[in-house]
């Protein structure tokens, strides 16, 4: 989801300006023709457009390929019996994903399973379309299934602001459940807080004769949330605390996530293109640094809210 509350407010206000009667310019009319439904027009903010620019697809490591956009990730995990796709980006990201999969020599219709990191519109907005296009089954956390079915409406933080096409979960997952296809085993680790069912996915790959642990972190950011006395998510603080314990306990060689900036994607892509021999996505320190920063932000906010309430 939007990681900075100021960016969120700017995105929302930009969307309202786009939809205002006084802004009906030629540019707006052309833009509206490209948007399938006005109900989803909020994803057309300056921020989301920047996040949704095309990226040349590439092999990350082993059988994991990046098929997403500049900032909203989508990962294709290939197997001899069909493929798994993690996250859809926005609804508008689907054509980019389709083209990227084709460029890599794979077929969209060979996707058998869709999985999700969390039920925010920038990571699941295209799941309904992808499910229809591929016939794949969607597996997602039990706690996020209702939000997905509601199309993002009724979110504890955003209400109905960031809606998307509703999508039905075929298999509801709990902590440590696995998704298996063609010899690939992906394990769902529930890391709630960012959403009530935010999910970190783990798997193993082989590269250069080594077996490596891959972590697709869900998200541990706190974009303007209230941690203490949150009536719509009463145990949010405890959930975040649990999440950091889980993340710190995971073995990680390859660090990936739902936003490219989480795992320094642009920099690592540039290193790949330069022909760097060591795969830059093998980055256990980067993962530890990410978790440490996120936990510090959590503790700092807890302290700030506690002080505001007169605590120590």
Of the candidates 249, 115, 140, 138, the one whose C-alpha atom is nearest the C-alpha of residue 196 is 140
* Options 44, 65, 66, 118, the catalytic residue: 118
In this model, does residue 271 exceed pLDDT 70? yes
* Options 65, 66, 225, 240, the catalytic residue: 225
123 tagged catalytic? yes
Sorted by where each starts, the structural domains of the chain and their CATH numbers stand as 5-37+47-308 (3.60.15.10)
For β-strands 178-181 and 137-141, DSSP reports them as: unpaired
In this model, does residue 6 exceed pLDDT 50? no
Structure confidence at residue 264 as a pLDDT band (50, 70, 90):
very high
Structure confidence at residue 311 as a pLDDT band (50, 70, 90):
low
120 tagged catalytic? yes
> What per-residue confidence (pLDDT) applies to 25?
36
The pLDDT tens digits of the residues spanning 157-203 come to 999 999 999 999 999 999 999 999 999 999 999 999 999 999 999 99
> What per-residue confidence (pLDDT) applies to 186?
98
Give the CA distances from residue 39 to residues 11, 14, 104, 153, in Å, rounded to whole numbers and listed in that order: 15, 15, 33, 11
Find the range with the poorest average confidence among 12-16, 96-100, 287-291: 12-16
Mean pLDDT of the chain: 88
* Options 121, 239, 259, 290, the catalytic residue: 259
SS (H, E, C) the chain: CCCCHHHHHHHHHHHHHHHCHHHCCHHHHHHHHCCCCHHHHHHCCHHHHHHCCCCCCEEEECCEEECCCCCECCEEEEECCEEEEECCECHHHHHHHHHHHHHCCCCHHHEEEEECCCCCHHHHCCHHHHHHHHCCEEEEEHHHHHHHHCCCCCECCCECCCCCCCCCCCEEECCCCEEEECCEEEEEEECCCCCCCCEEEEEEEEECCEEEEEEECCCCCCCCCCCCCCCCCCCHHHHHHHHHHHHHHCCCCEEECCEHHHHCHHHHHHHHHCCCCCCCCECHHHHHHHHHHHHHHHHHHHHHHHHHCCCC
In this model, does residue 3 exceed pLDDT 70? no
> What per-residue confidence (pLDDT) applies to 41?
37
Of the candidates 110, 150, 146, 144, the one whose C-alpha atom is nearest the C-alpha of residue 130 is 110
d(CA 180, CA 189): 15
122 tagged catalytic? yes
* Options 194, 240, 253, 298, the catalytic residue: 194
In this model, does residue 220 exceed pLDDT 50? yes
| Stronger pLDDT, 36 or 121, i.e. the higher one | 121
> What per-residue confidence (pLDDT) applies to 45?
73
Structure confidence at residue 27 as a pLDDT band (50, 70, 90):
very low
> What per-residue confidence (pLDDT) applies to 309?
82
242 tagged catalytic? no
d(CA 103, CA 56): 9
Q: What is the rounded average pLDDT of the residues 116-133?
A: 97
* Options 83, 87, 120, 240, the catalytic residue: 120
118 tagged catalytic? yes
d(CA 200, CA 143): 13
> What per-residue confidence (pLDDT) applies to 208?
86
Q: Are 253 and 278 in contact (CB under 8 A)?
A: no
298 tagged catalytic? no
In this model, does residue 19 exceed pLDDT 90? no
* Options 44, 87, 122, 144, the catalytic residue: 122
Report the percent of the chain where pLDDT is more than 70: 85
225 tagged catalytic? yes
């Amino acid at each position: 989801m939007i990681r900075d509350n100021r960016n969120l407010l700017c995105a929302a206000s930009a969307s309202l300006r786009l939809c205002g009667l006084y802004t009906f310019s030629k540019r707006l009319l052309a833009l509206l023709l490209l948007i399938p439904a006005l109900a989803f027009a909020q994803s057309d903010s300056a921020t989301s457009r920047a996040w949704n620019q095309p990226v040349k697809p590439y092999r990350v490591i082993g059988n994991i390929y990046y098929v997403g956009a500049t900032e909203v990730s989508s990962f294709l995990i290939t197997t001899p019996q069909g493929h798994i796709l993690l996250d859809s980006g926005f609804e508008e990201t689907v054509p980019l994903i389709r083209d990227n999969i084709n460029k890599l020599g794979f077929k969209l219709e060979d996707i058998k399973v869709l999985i999700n990191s969390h039920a925010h519109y920038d990571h699941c907005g295209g799941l309904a379309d992808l499910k229809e296009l591929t016939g794949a089954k969607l597996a997602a956390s039990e706690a996020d299934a209702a939000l997905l079915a509601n199309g993002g409406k009724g979110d504890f933080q955003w209400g109905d602001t960031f809606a998307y096409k509703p999508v039905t979960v075929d298999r509801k997952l709990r902590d440590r459940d696995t998704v298996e296809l063609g010899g690939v085993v992906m394990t769902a680790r529930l890391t709630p807080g960012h959403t009530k069912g935010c999910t970190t996915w783990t798997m193993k790959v082989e590269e250069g004769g080594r077996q490596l642990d891959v972590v697709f972190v869900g998200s541990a950011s706190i974009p303007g949330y209230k941690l203490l006395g949150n009536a719509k998510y009463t145990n949010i603080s405890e959930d975040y605390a649990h999440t950091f314990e889980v993340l710190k306990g995971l073995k990680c060689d390859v660090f990936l996530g739902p936003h490219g900036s989480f795992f320094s994607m642009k920099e690592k892509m540039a290193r790949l293109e330069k022909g760097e021999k060591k795969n830059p996505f093998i980055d256990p320190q980067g993962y530890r640094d990410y978790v440490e920063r996120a936990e510090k932000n959590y503790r700092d906010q807890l302290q700030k809210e506690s002080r505001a309430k007169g605590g120590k």
